[in-house]
Amino acid sequence: MKHIKMASSKFTFIARLEEKKSPQTCKWFLNLLPFTGDMIQVLWSGFACFILLDSSSQYEGLPATDVDHTVPFENPIRIPSKGEIIMYPGNMPHLQEGGEIFMAWGPCKITCQNGNLMGNHFLTIVEGNENLEQFGITVLTKGAQTMCFELIK
């Protein structure tokens, strides 16, 4: 079982890679590591933050990371639990182009101004959940926070 260290400023989280639930998404993500992106507060979804994966999406001016993120849906979910991280592949262009890594820090559902989205659950935070809400509040009140992801075991 592989684990990912997620670090941002004073916050550190350890997440389990969900290779059985989302094998192709996990493979895609492992090929990115180490990976750094800017977590920003979601616009429509509740208590969550996300990293834009495609700067050509409609969110002009928001920090984005240009990475190839063409993976299929794998048991997609719409309502993640606190500490679950999902990847929206950006493959529902009638709703939203561009992909994102979406991290729940409280009650939320993945959605956009055009409707509901779904994503592949590929990481679950297993250490640091007690600080997840404070991290989310930091993103909400202070703006984008750089998050670094690296494989630890």
Q: Which domains does the chain have, with CATH numbers?
A: 3-151 (2.40.100.20)
Under the banding of pLDDT at 50, 70 and 90, the label for residue 138 is very high
Range 18-27 average pLDDT: 95
Q: How far is CA 8 from the centre of its chain?
A: 14
Residue type, 121: H
| Model confidence at 7: pLDDT above 90 | yes
The first and second tokens of residue 98, run together, are 């561009």
Q: Given this model, what pLDDT does residue 60 score? A: 56
Q: Given this model, what pLDDT does residue 59 score? A: 53
The first and second tokens of residue 65, run together, are 């990371």
| Model confidence at 96: pLDDT above 70 | no
Query: In terms of Cα–Cα distance, which of 119, 116, 90 is closest to 104?
Result: 119
Q: What is the pTM of this model?
A: 0.88
Q: How far apart are CA 50 and CA 87, in angstroms?
A: 9
Q: Given this model, what pLDDT does residue 19 score? A: 97
**Bridge partners, residue 86, by sequence:** 102, 121
Q: How far apart are CA 29 and CA 45, in angstroms?
A: 23
Q: Given this model, what pLDDT does residue 127 score? A: 98
Helix then strand count (H, E) for the chain reads 2, 12
The first and second tokens of residue 143, run together, are 């703006």
Q: Given this model, what pLDDT does residue 33 score? A: 94
Highest mean pLDDT among 24-33, 48-57, 105-114: 24-33
| Model confidence at 8: pLDDT above 90 | yes
Q: How far apart are CA 84 and CA 33, in angstroms?
A: 19
Q: Given this model, what pLDDT does residue 111 score? A: 82
Q: Given this model, what pLDDT does residue 112 score? A: 78
Cβ 83 vs Cβ 91: under 8 Å: no
| Model confidence at 75: pLDDT above 90 | no
Q: Which residue shows structure tokens 């820090």? A: 105
Residue type, 45: S
User: Which carries the bigger pLDDT value, residue 143 or residue 99?
Assistant: 143
